[in-house]
């Protein structure tokens, strides 16, 4: 290729100078061979200018102005969840592929509308569950098949200490709350590791009366064959990000399930009748892998229907947990 030929690939813009963008996604975009960071937008022009200088791209004031650019093919949306529906819809309508932070939106109805819009316009729409792209989960599934017999129970927890009081996580209008912030991970992990559809049997949400958002919760789900999923989440907890598969002959626990750093070699524990074994798995770069998967979905239209179906299953389960939940006010 001649030297002055532009590098092929996906030209990306970012809506909002979010913490997750700065810490994880922008560094991964900048080092990705087939994704190019074109611009970052902020409500505050000084903030986007600072970030743009750091990551070597253009700065834009206002999200609309970024969507109006015709040198951008795809956008990353790390806004508070309550803003996802509006800005994902705007981005799709502007003809951009969208990588949106979890959760896709705050209701099933809104998510279904976005999936339908992306399908109609022939655009990729991906919810950024990066843990799905770590190789440890396939390794654990293989190990479970060989070592723990018939699967009986899946359990998973994601809990974090209280977020900063100024965070959108405490603001119902911005889509705050522990179910949408951390509860969505155990729900997504249950679908990853269990075969067949899941139904929500019951749930509990602890709601902070002062803010009106849920700060902790639990849910019980089941497959049609009675394999259960016991899920716990919240932001009133010491840090925990784990799942376990318990079968007729053994149990496997995965202690760094959702946010393992790229250099971390996951250690999983296999407990059987007469022995406990710790296995060290390969390190993996789930952030880079997630970006690879999004770029592939944007650059080729294969697999987009399956992506849309997975988004809808997840959104439906979140809604079912909310509907089934006993609400306990604090
Ligand atoms: N995949 C993951 O591992 C992961 C991890 C953490 C968070 N997340 C998700 O990523 C998203 C962002 O989380 P975060 O912790 O990075 O958020 P954050 O640091 O609070 O950033 C949110 C950004 O949204 C923009 N914004 C626009 N209107 C806002 C408003 N009224 N209030 C607050 N911010 C507003 C701001 O950008 P400007 O001011 O520059 O416009 C702000 O920087 C959420 O959906 C969250 O669930 C994902």
Taking the centre of ligand 1 as the mean of its atom positions, its distance from the CA of residue 80, in whole angstroms, is 5
Q: Is the CB of 127 under 6 A from ligand 1?
A: no
Could you tell me if 52 and 123 lie in one domain?
yes
Looking up residue 33, the CATH number of its domain turns out to be 3.40.50.720
Could you tell me if 171 and 315 lie in one domain?
yes
In a domain, 291, yes or no: no
pLDDT of residue 11: 98
Could you tell me if 117 and 202 lie in one domain?
no
Size (the chain), residues:
330
Q: Is the CB of 173 under 6 A from ligand 1?
A: no
Could you tell me if 320 and 190 lie in one domain?
yes
Looking up residue 161, the CATH number of its domain turns out to be 3.30.360.10
As beta bridge partners, residue 157 has 232, 242
Could you tell me if 163 and 308 lie in one domain?
yes
Q: Is the CB of 188 under 6 A from ligand 1?
A: no
Could you tell me if 117 and 80 lie in one domain?
yes
Q: Is the CB of 81 under 6 A from ligand 1?
A: yes
Return left, alpha or beta for 234; rule: phi > 0 is left, psi -120 to 50 is alpha, else beta. Answer: left
102 carries an active-site annotation: yes
- The ligand 1 atom at the shortest distance from the C-alpha of residue 20 is 16
Q: Which residue among 13, 16, 88 has the greatest number of ligand 1 atoms within 8 angstroms of its CB, and so is best to mutate? A: 16
Q: Is the CB of 79 under 6 A from ligand 1?
A: yes
Taking the centre of ligand 1 as the mean of its atom positions, its distance from the CA of residue 78, in whole angstroms, is 5
Q: Is the CB of 313 under 6 A from ligand 1?
A: no
pLDDT of residue 303: 84
In a domain, 5, yes or no: no
In a domain, 61, yes or no: yes
Could you tell me if 195 and 118 lie in one domain?
no
The count of other CB atoms within 10 Å of the CB of residue 171 is 16
pLDDT of residue 8: 62
Number of domains in the chain: 2
pTM: 0.96
Tokens of 172: 């119902």
Taking the centre of ligand 1 as the mean of its atom positions, its distance from the CA of residue 79, in whole angstroms, is 4
pLDDT in tens, the chain (330 residues): 344 444 468 999 999 999 999 999 999 999 999 999 999 999 999 999 999 999 999 999 999 999 999 999 999 999 999 999 999 999 999 999 999 999 999 999 999 999 999 999 999 999 999 999 999 999 999 999 999 999 999 999 999 999 999 999 999 999 999 999 999 999 999 999 999 999 999 999 999 999 999 999 999 999 999 999 999 999 999 999 999 999 999 999 999 999 999 999 999 999 999 999 999 999 999 999 999 999 999 999 888 888 999 999 999 999 999 999 999 998
Q: Is the CB of 47 under 6 A from ligand 1?
A: yes
Of 73, 95, 128, the one marking the end of a domain is: 128
- The ligand 1 atom at the shortest distance from the C-alpha of residue 79 is 24
Taking the centre of ligand 1 as the mean of its atom positions, its distance from the CA of residue 83, in whole angstroms, is 10
Are 25 and 50 in contact by the 8 Å Cβ rule? The answer is no
Query: Rounded distance, CA 99 to CA 128, Å?
Result: 6
Could you tell me if 220 and 89 lie in one domain?
no
Could you tell me if 79 and 155 lie in one domain?
no
Range of the domain at 168: 134-284+304-329
- Catalytic option among 102, 137, 188, 285: 102
Q: Whose CA is nearest to atom 11 of ligand 1?
A: 78
Of 128, 158, 186, the one marking the end of a domain is: 128
Could you tell me if 279 and 192 lie in one domain?
yes
Could you tell me if 216 and 271 lie in one domain?
yes
| Distance between first and last Cα of the chain | 63
pLDDT of residue 301: 82
Could you tell me if 101 and 152 lie in one domain?
no
Query: Rounded distance, CA 135 to CA 184, Å?
Result: 20
């Amino acid at each position: 290729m001649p030297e002055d030929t532009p590098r092929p690939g996906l030209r990306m813009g970012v809506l909002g100078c979010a913490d997750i963008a700065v810490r994880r996604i922008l560094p991964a975009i900048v080092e990705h061979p087939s994704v190019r960071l074109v611009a970052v937008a902020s409500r505050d022009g000084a903030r986007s200018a600072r970030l743009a200088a750091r990551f070597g791209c253009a700065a834009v004031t206002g999200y609309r102005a970024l969507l109006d650019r015709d040198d951008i093919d795809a956008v990353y949306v790390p806004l508070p969840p309550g803003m996802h529906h509006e800005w994902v819809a705007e981005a799709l309508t502007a003809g951009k592929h969208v990588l949106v932070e979890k959760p896709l939106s705050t209701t099933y109805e809104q998510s279904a509308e976005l999936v339908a819009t992306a399908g109609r316009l022939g655009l990729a729409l991906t919810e950024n569950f990066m843990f799905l792209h770590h190789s440890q989960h396939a390794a654990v599934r293989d190990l479970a098949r060989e070592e723990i017999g018939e699967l009986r129970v899946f359990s998973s927890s994601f809990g974090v200490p209280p977020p900063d009081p100024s965070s959108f996580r405490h603001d119902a209008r911005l889509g705050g709350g522990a179910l949408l912030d951390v509860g969505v991970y155990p729900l997504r992990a249950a679908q990853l590791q269990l075969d067949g559809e899941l139904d929500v049997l019951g749930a509990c949400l602890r709601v902070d009366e002062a803010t009106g958002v849920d700060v902790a919760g639990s849910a019980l789900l089941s497959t049609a064959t009675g394999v259960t999923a016991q899920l716990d989440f919240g932001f009133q907890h010491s840090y925990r990000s784990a799942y376990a598969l318990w079968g007729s002959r053994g149990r496997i626990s995965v202690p760094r399930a959702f946010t393992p750093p790229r250099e971390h070699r996951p250690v999983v524990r296999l407990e059987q009748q007469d022995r406990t074994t710790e296995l060290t798995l390969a390190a993996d770069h789930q952030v880079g892998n997630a970006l690879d998967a999004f770029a592939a979905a944007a650059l080729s239209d294969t697999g987009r229907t399956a992506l849309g179906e997975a988004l809808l299953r997840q959104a439906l389960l979140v809604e079912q947990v909310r509907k089934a939940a006993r609400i306990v006010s604090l």
